[in-house]
Every structure is written in C-alpha cells, then in structure tokens.
Chains A and B, each alone.
Chain A
Amino acid sequence: MKHDKKLDEMLMLYFFNELSEPKKKAFEIHLKECAHCQTELSKLKIMNSKLADTPDKVPTPELIEKVNMKIMAAIAPEPSNSLINKITDSFQEFYNSMLMAFTRPQYQFASMGATLIIGILIGKIWLSSGLQNDPEMLISLINRQSDLTAEQQSKFRNAFANYMIQSGDVELSELVQENPTDSQNDNMVMVNFKVKKDFALKGGLDNQAIQNMLRFSARHEKEPARRMRAVKLLSNSPQNKDIEETLIAVLLHDENESIRKEAMEAICQYNDSEESKDALKTVVLNDTSATLRIQAINFLKEIGSEDVIPIIALTSIRDNDEEVKNIAKNVLEELENSKSKE
C-alpha cells in the first residue's frame, strides 16, 4: 500500500491510541510496509520520551490555603458590611439610650431593664475592642476565621460572643471556673453558650468578653445557681464601671435574695461610687428582704455621708419591720452623734 496524505492522520491517531481495533489492525499492516510511517512513528516516540510525565512541582497545603484566602476575600465583599452597619446602628441606638439613662436625676436601672444592660455590653465592647477603628478586621474575622492568628481568633470569638449577646438568642449552657483555689487574678473562666451551635469562650477575669458573658449570665441566667456563680466571679474581677452597673442591676432586680446579697457585698467594694450608694439607698427603701435592708443600712453607715441620713430617718419611721426600724434608729443616732462631734 502506497503512503498518502490521509495516512498522516491515521498515523497520528495510531500514535495517540485513538483508532478502533479494526482500524488499528489495518494501519499496522500499512505500517509494516511504509518506511515513511515507520520514520514518523519513531520520531513521535522520541518526542514522547522527552516529555516528562510527572509534574516537577506540587503545591504545598500552605499555598493552597493562601490562594483560597484570596479567593474567599474576592467572593465575599458585601454581606459583612451590612453586619458592620447593623452593629454600628445598634451601637448608636444603645449609646443614646445609655446617655438618657445617665442624665436622669436618679440613677434608675428599673425602667431601662435588660436592653440597657445589653446595650452597654455591646457599646463597651465596640469601643474597647478597637473594632470601630478597624472594620476591615471585623470583615476578615467574620468571613475567614482560619486566616487568623491565634490572637485575632480570640478577638473574633470575643466580638462574636458580644454580637451574639446582642442578638438575644443566647443560652448559657455552662460556666466553669478553673483552679478556683488560685489567687483571684489568675482565675480562668470558661463560658459555654449556645447560639445555633455550641460555642466556648475561655479567658481570665480581666478579659472583657469573659466579663461581658459573666455580666450577661448574672442578669439573664434562669438557673439561680449560675447567676450566683457569675455574680461571685464578677466580684472577683478587676473593678470597672460596667461590672458595677451589672452588680447594681442584679441587686435591684434579682428575685433571689442570696444573689442580691452577694451582689450587694460586691458593690460595697466600690466605695466611692455615687451609683452604688444610690443602689444601697434603693435597697433600704424598697428591698423585700429585711435582712438585706439591714445590711444595706449598715453599709450606708460605713459610708457615712450626709445624704444617707434622710433615707435612714425615713426607714426608722416607715419600715414595716420592727427590727429594721430599730436598727435604723440606732444608726441614725450614731450618725448624728459622729456628725456633732466633728
């Protein structure tokens, strides 16, 4: 059989193993007789031998991850902006309500309720976490956690925890205190809470997110034992205004007497605060527990400033418990005596 142009294609297809069995057989018969095809086939085989069949380089997992991160950033620009806006908007709202609360003549938590507490939490975390200066960070945090350093991840968790508190759809499932025998400042606390799935937060009592979770827990846990534990931990935390506010709210609103008592004892560490003093006055006038009213009277006596006198005087006349009345009378006398000595 003589070689012709059509057979060039057959040769290629033969080389690339694309011929059907009959066509292959037929071509092999031609190949035996055709010097041209034999030469061409050997050239193709030489070419083939030069072509490396394995890649000389393979990507490392680090490379894949790095490029994946770029892709995640490229495909996710918008949704997190709305989150930022949501947080910013709600912060503004909460901030306004907070201002309103503080400008009232009497420091009143009662009317503000839980919204204010949560508002303060979010507002404070917003201000203190530096997120308001770094929306980029929040976006990247929310979108791609695995891109983060350990420190950023911890920031994310904290910010997330606070955001979730705001959403209100949070249920604390466990509160664990590690090494409770250690000195107070070394206390590590783990707060497990459910949002849609379990989430854990771990940190020292000086960690703001932990503090916020504890504050949330102290106010909103259904289980009294857990509220109690949160209040106890808060009383061990480094003192700050936020914690004081929560303790005051617990003192004024918790239905459980021993928790209110615990909160009051914690508050009394905040000696010079007007807010604490106002809270103690409120207890003396309004608390349902005579024991607590008595304790509050004694704390006010310790403070000893002039403005406590009218409250105690009122109690000595008006309280419906005789023991409280008597104690109020005694304290009133002591206060007036010490005043006249000055």
Chain B
Amino acid sequence: MEKEEVDLIKRIQGGDNMAFHAIMNKYGSRVMNVAYSFAKNTQDAEDLYQETFIRVFRNIKSFRFESEFYTWIYRILTNLAYNQFKKKGRMQVVDPGENDYLWETIPGDKEDEADVQTYKSAFKEEVDNALLQLSSQQRTVFILKHYEGKKIKDIAAILDCTEGTIKRYLFRATRKLQDLLHVA
C-alpha cells in the first residue's frame, strides 16, 4: 500500500473526517461503476455506493492493513449487493433517479466491433430486466463471475460462503437468465 494511503486511513481511524473525503475521491468512480454493474439503475447504484462508503467509514477502525484498501471496500460493496435487497426480495426497475442527468451514457464506439455493439445494445434492456428478476444473491454472484471475471473460489471468499453455495447461485442464475432471454 502507498504510504500516502496508509496515512489517510490512519487519519480517518483517528477521527479526521476530511481524510475520508479524500478516500472517496480516490475510489469513488471505481466504486460507483461496480455499484452500477450490480444495481443496473442509477438510483440504486447511488444508494449502494452511499451505503458502501458509510459502512467503510463506520468499520474503518477494523481495517488492519492486511489487504489492499480497495479490496476491502469491494468486499463491503459486494456483500451489500448480495444481502441488501433480501428484504425487498427483488429489485424493481425504477424510474431514473433525480441524479440521472449526472450520468454519462456511453455509445458503443469501437468501429470494428460496431455490429457486436449494436447487437448487444439491442438486448441491453432485456438483459438488465432479466438480471433484475434474479434474487440479489443470484445476481451478485452472476455479475461477479460473468462481468468481473472472478473465480468461484474468490467469490466464495469475498461473500464468505462455501464454493458449493456460490455454484448453486451461479447455476440457478444462469438457467434463469437463459429462460428469461429465451435461449433455454
């Protein structure tokens, strides 16, 4: 870990809130992008991001510098995504949030892949809707595997579950997606 970051974290642990702002500035966009990939809509992504950093702040005294700080944040974020919507059951597709205008829409821009991009963006909404129909556990595991490219073993470690549990969620998610995307 960089000395600068260690200093920042120690300052937060010592009660300096302004240092926490610096941490959020450093990891904000990475965390928000991951939050969006889990939440699939801007409002829920912002909520997830906010809850993540609040928990990071509240638990920062338990950070022992044994892993990269981002890994630690990532773990909190992922576990929130995994557990957060348990009560609600499933996330619903919601109206764009009040801050939707503060998000940038990316066009598919690689020319040689234009066809693929168009093809994929045609399914974008359908895929998002399908992902939102999964349970938060299924969705989180599937996203970690498919989009984040994590190994089942690592996902189990991040979410503190057995590999068997992760496999079960992953396979169910896959079957369900096939079903919802009409490729069963």
Contact = CB atoms under 8 A, between A and B. Distances in A.
A134 B52 CA distance: 31
Interface string A70-89: 11101110010000000000
Contact of B103 (A48, A53, A60): A60
Contact of B102 (A9, A48, A63, A146): A63
Given A44-B174, A59-B33, A63-B103, A71 B127 contact: no
Interface string A83-123: 00000000000000000000000000000000000000000
A18 B37 CA distance: 22
B176 to A, nearest CB: 11
Interface string A139-175: 0000110100000000000000000000000000000
A58 B151 contact: no
B92 interface: no
Interface in B137-167: 145-147, 151-152, 167
B81 interface: no
Given A55-B106, A58-B103, A60-B103, A72 B32 contact: no
A47 B183 contact: yes
A296 B97 CA distance: 72
Q: Is the interface of B mostly helix, strand, loop or mixed?
A: helix
Nearest to A75: B57
Contacts of A63: 32, 46, 99, 102-103
Nearest to B47: A67
Contacts, number: 127
Interface size class of B (residues with CB under 8 A): 35 or more
Contacts of A72: 17, 20-21
Contacts of B36: 55, 57-59
Nearest to B24: A68
B46 to A, nearest CB: 6
A338 interface: no
A16 B49 CA distance: 28
Given A16-B145, A16-B152, A66 B99 contact: yes
A79 to B, nearest CB: 8
Contact of A56 (B50, B121, B184): B121
A54 B168 CA distance: 26
Contact of B181 (A12, A47, A144): A47
Given A47-B174, A62-B102, 7 more contacts: A12-B171, A43-B183, A60-B104, A66-B99, A67-B49, A67-B50, A71-B24
